[in-house]
């Protein structure tokens, strides 16, 4: 993992003390709320529906066990004993007191964490594939470049007051688990024909009230040009992005209004000015950062050892979990393990202090002390020996973290919605819970196969509903919650925005509606080999619409 | 200055500055306090509401609370909007450790 050097640590410590002074001045009245609000937002502190909310950055989703223990401790000491993992690989505390936040940030700084740039119109926490460094078929570890971008974008003076927030995601795999095409910049680490490493640049993706799939504006930007090219994109956006209307201020609007070709020309023009300058990424620096992400000391192990295979045969519950929650590791004899934060009827992404501490312990015991947060609101242990999987599974079961549903119908993304969020129009969490309860039968879930439901409680789309295989958007109609259903979205390499099915459903109807959609799929699929998304793409939404609305 | 958006009975709400907790305005002649339970809030209407809003805003200046605004309620002090009902009662879901 990346470790702070003196510069990083001093910088973060100084920011904590600066914020401590700002909070003191706010509490004493020296600063008004209008003066203080932009300062607290720069430190990740919001005022939400019930209380303040602190959003802690987890750079590219990678956590050490020490950091996770600290997150647990903070949740117990300063909050209500739990935290919430978000779709941007952050952790949110829902109940911190303003007066405690300088102490919370000081505690985070002791484990090389902070809440900087988790809010505001700046470059936010760079997110990455949760399987970074361990995925089979990966071109290069995206965290190296995410860290380069983090250092470049932290307190970047030119990009601290952008027209609007700016989100970057990166993956090193063709199979996109980081939703890069719905980010302001999405990067794919690729190799060109000469075997050189570079980046595919996808620009102008985003969700919110105007969902757009990003456009590839350059299929290969060489490694040394990563920063100069990114800076060129940001410069064009900073100069030309709209500041008159916050709903039209994201780069996706600029790219659409300018046209991809002209936008690309402008970027290239800017790039020509700066590419030979100080932004050239030195190979030594890449190597220095790469060293932090060096693989742990893997043992030489045979793949699929007998003790693992025997347990798979002997214990169907273990086999179900292994089927849904494991992913192939690039090293023989190891597996990537996903911990579901979606117990049946639970709150997506929520985790208690004791669960966090227990996971930290399991990471130490089984995964070289490393944990990943996923944008789908689950956790991952990236390096587990296959022969340890059964013992790990038993431990996770005791913690209620072994629900074998990763990628299945109850592995739902949900934003905090009206239960917590000041912007929401409708609740998301209880809708996720009702759907999860309805599909509680795991055999049925496995029979349905891969199906991603994503729920947002308002048009800002923090729950990624536009790119759900089934997307659910909560709206308010004259004081009553309604839920609009979309079908056919995807956040992966085949990214697409879902299509609205028809009139919205009431809170008490939406679970039935989702079940109706799933049943239509089960009836009409061309066999278990055809996934839900494949069928929607084959048939369109018409058969679903007919089944849903004509029966009524 | 927060504006009243309804002619009916209202209570005034805010968030306490130092811990962010949702509070409601209770007034008894000159005594003014912010209370955590909406049941303890004062129902206000017309001129009394306007006068109370002025006093509530003074507590913003005194760094007690932020984000003062009135909300329509019924006779039993139940907020008319779903948002304010959730805000008054807390999340509608059981959270944290079971």
What is the SS3 assignment for A255? helix
Residue whose C-alpha is closest to residue A522's, from A514, A343, A438, A345: A514
Query: Which tokens in the block code for residue A47?
Result: 């005022």
CB A461 within 8 Å of CB A208: yes
Beta strands in chain B (DSSP E): 10-16, 22-28, 31-35, 65-72
Cβ contacts of A64 within 8 Å, gap of 6 or more = A1, A111, A369, A370, A371
- Whether the CB of A482 is below 8 Å from some CB of chain B: the reply is no
DSSP string, A510-545: HHHHHHHHHHHHHHHSSSTTS-HHHHHHHH-SHHHH
Question: What is the spatial order of strands in the sheet that A62-64 belongs to?
Answer: A62-64, A370-373, A379-385, A334-339, A326-328
Backbone torsions φ then ψ of A386, nearest 5 degrees: -55, -35
Query: Which tokens in the block code for residue A297?
Result: 């000391």
Q: Under an 8 A CB cutoff, do A481 and B82 touch?
A: yes
Which residue reads 């919650």 in tokens?
A: A481
DSSP type of residue B3: P
Return the residue in A50, A82, A423 with the most chain B beta carbons within 10 A, the one to mutate for interface testing. Answer: A50
A413-550 carries CATH number 3.40.640.10 = no
Beta strands in A105-206 (DSSP E): 127-128, 168-171, 185-191, 197-203
Distance of CA B87 to the CA centre of its chain: 10
Residue whose C-alpha is closest to residue A414's, from B89, B95, B20, B97: B95
- Same topology, domains A6-110 and A306-398? Answer is yes
Give CA–CA dist A479/A203, Å, rounded: 38
CATH of A134-292, one of 3.30.70.3270, 3.30.413.10, 3.40.50.700, 3.90.700.10: 3.30.413.10
Q: What per-residue confidence (pLDDT) applies to B3?
A: 47
Question: Is residue B1 predicted with pLDDT exceeding 80?
Answer: no
Task: Flag whether B57 is in a domain.
Answer: yes
CB contacts, 8 Å: A358 with chain B: none
Q: Under an 8 A CB cutoff, do B83 and A81 touch?
A: no
Residue whose C-alpha is closest to residue A368's, from A378, A387, A390, A383: A383
Give the total number of structural domains in chain B: 1
Q: How far is B25 from chain A (nearest CA, A)?
A: 16
Give CA–CA dist A429/A415, Å, rounded: 7
Q: What per-residue confidence (pLDDT) applies to B32?
A: 75
Nearest to B19 among A48, A98, A420 (CB): A98
- Whether the CB of B86 is below 8 Å from some CB of chain A: the reply is yes
CB B73 within 8 Å of CB B79: yes
Please say whether the dihedral angle defined by the alpha carbons of residues A418, A420, A424 and A430, taken in this order, is positive or negative: negative
Give CA–CA dist B93/A416, Å, rounded: 11
Task: Flag whether B28 is in a domain.
Answer: yes
Give CA–CA dist A179/A443, Å, rounded: 28
Long-range pairs, A42-45, Cβ under 8 A, ≥24:
A42/A116, A42/A117, A42/A119, A42/A120, A42/A122, A43/A15, A43/A19, A43/A101, A43/A105, A43/A115, A43/A116, A44/A114, A44/A115, A44/A116, A44/A117, A44/A118, A44/A119, A45/A96, A45/A98, A45/A101, A45/A115, A45/A119
Q: Under an 8 A CB cutoff, do B93 and A419 touch?
A: yes
- H or E stretch including B57? helix B46-61
- Whether the CB of A508 is below 8 Å from some CB of chain B: the reply is no
Q: What per-residue confidence (pLDDT) applies to B2?
A: 46
Give CA–CA dist A218/B60, Å, rounded: 52
Q: How far is B32 from chain A (nearest CA, A)?
A: 20
Domain containing B39 equals 10-89
Q: What per-residue confidence (pLDDT) applies to B30?
A: 65
Which residue reads 């839920």 in tokens?
A: A483
Q: What per-residue confidence (pLDDT) applies to B4?
A: 44
A6-110 carries CATH number 3.40.50.150 = no
Task: Flag whether B14 is in a domain.
Answer: yes
Nearest CA in chain B to A80: B96
Task: Flag whether B75 is in a domain.
Answer: yes
CATH topology of domain A306-398: Sulfite Reductase Hemoprotein; domain 2 (3.90.480)
CB contacts, 8 Å: B90 with chain A: 50
Q: What per-residue confidence (pLDDT) applies to B29?
A: 62
Residues B8-38: pLDDT tens digits? 999 999 999 999 999 999 987 667 799 999 9
Q: Which runs of consecutive H residues, i.e. helices, occur in A326-375?
A: 353-366
Nearest to B95 among A27, A47, A82 (CB): A82
Residue whose C-alpha is closest to residue A141's, from A293, A297, A335, A4: A293
Q: Across residues B43-66, what is the average pLDDT?
A: 94
What is the SS3 assignment for A364? helix
Q: What per-residue confidence (pLDDT) applies to A106?
A: 98
CB B80 within 8 Å of CB B72: yes
Task: Flag whether B63 is in a domain.
Answer: yes
- Whether the CB of A502 is below 8 Å from some CB of chain B: the reply is no
Give CA–CA dist A23/A102, Å, rounded: 8
- Whether the CB of A47 is below 8 Å from some CB of chain B: the reply is yes
Every domain of chain A and the residues it spans: 6-110, 134-292, 306-398, 413-550
Return the residue in B82, B91, B97 with the most chain A beta carbons within 10 A, the one to mutate for interface testing. Answer: B91
Interface of A with B in 52-91 (CB under 8 A): 52, 80-82
Q: What Cα–Cα distance (Å) separates residue A503 from each residue in A16, A500, A513?
A: 49, 9, 11
Backbone torsions φ then ψ of A335, nearest 5 degrees: -140, 155
Nearest to A51 among B21, B86, B93 (CB): B21
Q: How far is A188 from chain B (nearest CA, A)?
A: 37
Give CA–CA dist A510/A502, Å, rounded: 12
Look at strands A326-328 and A350-352 and give their pairing. unpaired
Distance of CA A515 to the CA centre of its chain: 26
Task: Flag whether B85 is in a domain.
Answer: yes
Nearest to B93 among A29, A353, A429 (CB): A429
pLDDT confidence of B68, banded at 50, 70, 90?
A: very high
Interface of B with A in 59-78 (CB under 8 A): 60-63, 66-67
User: Within chain A, which residues score under 70 in pLDDT?
Assistant: 551-552
Q: What Cα–Cα distance (Å) separates residue A452 from each residue in A325, A341, A405, A424, A436?
A: 14, 15, 11, 22, 12
Give CA–CA dist B27/B46, Å, rounded: 15
CB contacts, 8 Å: B92 with chain A: 419, 427, 430
Task: Flag whether B98 is in a domain.
Answer: no
Q: Under an 8 A CB cutoff, do B97 and A50 touch?
A: no
- Between chain A and chain B, the number of residue pairs with CB atoms below 8 A apart is 82
- H or E stretch including A401? none
Task: Flag whether B4 is in a domain.
Answer: no
């Amino acid at each position: 993992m990346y470790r702070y050097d003196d510069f990083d640590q001093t910088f973060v410590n100084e920011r904590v003390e600066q914020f401590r002074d700002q909070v003191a001045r706010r509490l004493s009245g020296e600063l008004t709320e209008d003066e203080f609000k932009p300062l607290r937002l720069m430190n990740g502190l919001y005022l939400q529906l019930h209380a303040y909310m602190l959003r802690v950055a987890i750079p590219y989703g990678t956590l050490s066990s020490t950091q996770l223990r600290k997150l647990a401790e903070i949740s117990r000491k300063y909050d209500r004993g739990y935290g919430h993992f978000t779709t941007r690989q952050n952790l949110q505390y829902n109940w911190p007191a303003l007066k405690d936040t300088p102490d919370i940030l000081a505690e985070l700084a002791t484990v090389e964490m902070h809440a900087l740039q988790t809010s505001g119109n700046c470059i936010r926490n760079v997110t990455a594939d949760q399987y970074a460094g361990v995925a089979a078929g990966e071109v290069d570890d995206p965290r190296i470049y995410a860290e380069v971008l983090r250092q470049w974008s932290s307190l970047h003076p030119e990009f601290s007051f952008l027209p609007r927030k700016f989100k970057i995601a990166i993956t090193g795999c063709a199979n996109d688990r980081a939703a890069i095409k719905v980010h302001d910049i999405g990067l794919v680490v690729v190799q060109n024909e000469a075997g050189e490493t570079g980046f595919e640049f996808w620009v102008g993706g985003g969700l919110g009230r105007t969902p757009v799939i990003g456009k590839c504006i350059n299929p290969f930007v060489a490694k040394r040009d990563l920063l100069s090219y990114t800076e060129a994109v940001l410069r064009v956006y900073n100069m030309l992005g709209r500041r008159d209307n916050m709903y039209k201020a994201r780069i996706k609007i600029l790219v659409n209004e300018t046209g991809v070709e002209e936008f690309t020309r402008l970027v290239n023009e800017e790039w020509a000015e700066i590419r030979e300058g100080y932004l050239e990424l030195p190979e030594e620096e890449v190597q220095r950062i790469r060293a932090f992400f060096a693989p742990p000391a893997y043992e030489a192990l045979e793949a699929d050892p007998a003790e693992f295979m025997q347990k798979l045969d002997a214990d169907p519950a273990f086999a179900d979990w292994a089927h849904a929650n494991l992913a192939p590791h690039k090293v023989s004899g190891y597996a990537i393990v996903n911990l579901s934060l979606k117990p049946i009827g639970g709150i997506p992404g929520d985790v208690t202090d004791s669960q966090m501490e227990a996971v930290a312990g399991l990471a130490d015991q089984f995964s070289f002390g490393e944990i990943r947060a996923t944008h789908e609101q689950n956790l991952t242990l990236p390096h587990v020996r296959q022969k340890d999987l059964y013992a790990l599974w038993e431990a996770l079961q005791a913690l209620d973290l072994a629900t074998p549903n990763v990628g299945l119908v109850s592995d739902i993304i949900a934003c905090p919605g009206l239960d917590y969020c000041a912007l929401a129009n409708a609740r998301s969490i209880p809708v996720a819970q009702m759907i999860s309860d309805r599909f509680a039968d795991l055999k049925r879930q496995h029979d349905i196969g891969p199906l991603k439901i994503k729920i947002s409680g308002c048009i800002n789309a923090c729950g990624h509903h536009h790119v759900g295989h089934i997307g659910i958007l909560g709206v308010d109609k004259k004081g009553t919650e309604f839920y609009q259903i979309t079908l056919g979205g995807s956040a992966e390499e085949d990214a697409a925005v879902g299509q609205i099915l028809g009139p919205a459903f009431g809170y008490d109807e939406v679970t039935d509606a989702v079940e109706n959609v799933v049943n239509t799929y089960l009836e009409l699929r061309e066999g278990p080999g055809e996934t839900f998304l494949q069928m929607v793409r084959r048939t369109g939404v018409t058969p679903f619409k007919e089944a849903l609305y004509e029966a009524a | 200055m927060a504006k009243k958006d309804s002619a009916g009975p209202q209570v005034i709400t805010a968030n306490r500055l130092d811990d962010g907790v949702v509070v409601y305005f209770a007034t008894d002649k000159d005594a003014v306090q912010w209370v955590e339970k909406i049941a303890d809030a004062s129902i206000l209407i017309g001129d009394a509401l306007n006068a109370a809003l002025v006093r509530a805003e003074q507590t913003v200046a005194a760094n007690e609370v932020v984000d003062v605004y009135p909300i329509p309620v019924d006779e039993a002090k139940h907020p008319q909007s779903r948002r304010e009902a959730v805000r008054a009662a807390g999340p509608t879901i059981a959270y944290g450790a079971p």
